[in-house]
Chain A
């Protein structure tokens, strides 16, 4: 299993696509920083004016921590899209290259092979989220400095400077679990369809559909909300509320772990029964 994991990680970190994905993440973070550096005052001007009518504001409201928080909004769609692409590639490319035949004719168990691929996928997600965290915080703090932060989730939330990093890291940790859920779904689709493009398109379709359903919650859809997994993946925001609702976050963590478990279980079942006839 360790040998299999070694080769899976080797393949992952020798593939140009992995670095392209890391590069895109860095570019996204850079663009957010650049945008707020050049147009931040204008973008937040109206909002700050409204707040300052009611509160006495001291220090810089547009600071590195606010930008780091804003960068996390890429967790809604941008980052899942990149995770979906890489996951689909990790699993489907073996079928497209035909290398799955080479791997499965080695005297190894299919479960061990899939298990090592899943672990390498999780390693990738952790590395990816680490890069996101690093490039969300470090450049913005270097450019804009630190300070207390005002965020808007169910009203205005005031985050003290000293608690920000803890909240940010907790949100990133939560995001890792969310991204594993996205990746598990994509992995299952990739193993069913054995085609990168199909599994990416289906995963995108599910992501977009659920995000739309969640965003336009009205009437009958409101009762569906807890069953939409994008409802749970968006709970990272709750770490930036004045009083963090841990029970709600924990419920979502359970939901995402169970969802990932179901997709991983289905993937093992599928992979072990799969015939490689082409």
Chain B
């Protein structure tokens, strides 16, 4: 378990992270979310020892670490854009990092895992963005880390690469690796993360688990072809909803209540032509991203 308390970071007197506290539970996939400039990458850079915070403490498995950079022993990282020596091959690039760490891992197996075994001798300067992204994942896995911290890992991946990466992350997670994924792709993260930390302007805006997310009410927007009739309007008001522009209704509902409400609308001769749902996470995200 990683617990960060009161983490603050400043660059040139500008506050980047302001008293941020959170806990990443061991064995989970954690989605670190937020629009550009929210502070996600800064949190990751602090956890990677690349920047030095103004204040804050870090506890790993209930042991207080003397500095944030101590966490590097347990982590594999992909930070922002994948970075390699362009004049070296994929295999050579991995070999360098393997040598630094004296890691006991077969590079061929790693390259096979990320689908790059066939191009292992090819110089990285000839790689596409997606290939570099896959290689960066392999690089992060070189030390078989307990925690995998990935900053925007889906950048540059095509749909197949995207699905492959999600499958790989799930597989690693099943093997016990804790995975922290920073991304602005909210819908994609909602597919597979166990917990979510939403950031905004250097602070935690929302912190909840998949279970809490599933149990929370959704914002449901029903759109009708015409104005709502009296009975339908009364039903909306009795459920605490709001009517916008005469033909749009917003209700907060548990997922299992949605079908019941739709049936009620149909019973009142007002079948909706469109239903849009937003989780509490999506709602908050869109609110702060405006």
Number of residue pairs spanning A and B whose beta carbons lie under 8 angstroms apart: 72
Q: A14-B87, A97-B86 are in contact. Are A105 and B80 (CB under 8 A)?
A: no
For the complex, give the distance between the alpha carbons of A200 and B101 in Å: 32
- By the criterion CB–CB under 8 Å, are A101 and B79 in contact? yes
Please name all residues of chain A whose beta carbon is closer than 8 Å to the beta carbon of B50 when the two chains form the complex: 101, 104-105, 275-277
For the complex, give the distance between the alpha carbons of A278 and B192 in Å: 29
**Which residues of A in the span 73-106 have a Cβ within 8 Å of any Cβ on B?**
97-106
- By the criterion CB–CB under 8 Å, are A6 and B99 in contact? yes
Chain A CB within 10 A, most for which of B77, B87, B99, B100: B100
Q: A109 — nearest CB in chain B belongs to which residue?
A: B69
Q: Which single member of B11, B81, B83, B100 contacts A106 (CB below 8 Å)? A: B100
Q: A105-B72, A276-B50, A277-B51 are in contact. Are A99 and B101 (CB under 8 A)?
A: no
For the complex, give the distance between the alpha carbons of A101 and B88 in Å: 17
**Which residues of B in the span 1-56 have a Cβ within 8 Å of any Cβ on A?**
11, 42, 45, 48-52
Q: Which single member of A14, A104, A107 contacts B88 (CB below 8 Å)? A: A14
Q: How many residues of B contact A (CB 8 A)?
A: 30
Instruction: Say if the beta carbon of A166 comes within 8 Å of chain B.
Output: no
For the complex, give the distance between the alpha carbons of A72 and B77 in Å: 48
**Which residues of A in the span 5-37 have a Cβ within 8 Å of any Cβ on B?**
6-7, 10-11, 14-16
Q: A104-B49, A105-B77 are in contact. Are A99 and B83 (CB under 8 A)?
A: yes
Please name all residues of chain A whose beta carbon is closer than 8 Å to the beta carbon of B82 when the two chains form the complex: 98
For the complex, give the distance between the alpha carbons of A199 and B92 in Å: 28
Q: A7-B96, A10-B96, A275-B50 are in contact. Are A106 and B85 (CB under 8 A)?
A: no
- By the criterion CB–CB under 8 Å, are B51 and A276 in contact? yes
**Which residues of B in the span 60-113 have a Cβ within 8 Å of any Cβ on A?**
72-73, 75, 77, 79-88, 92, 96-97, 99-102
Instruction: Say if the beta carbon of B183 comes within 8 Å of chain A.
Output: no
For the complex, give the distance between the alpha carbons of A276 and B46 in Å: 10
Which 9 A-B pairs have CB atoms at the shortest separation, nearest pair first? Answer: A98-B83, A276-B50, A275-B51, A105-B77, A107-B73, A107-B72, A105-B48, A7-B96, A99-B83
**B residues in contact (CB < 8 Å) with A:** 11, 42, 45, 48-52, 72-73, 75, 77, 79-88, 92, 96-97, 99-102, 139
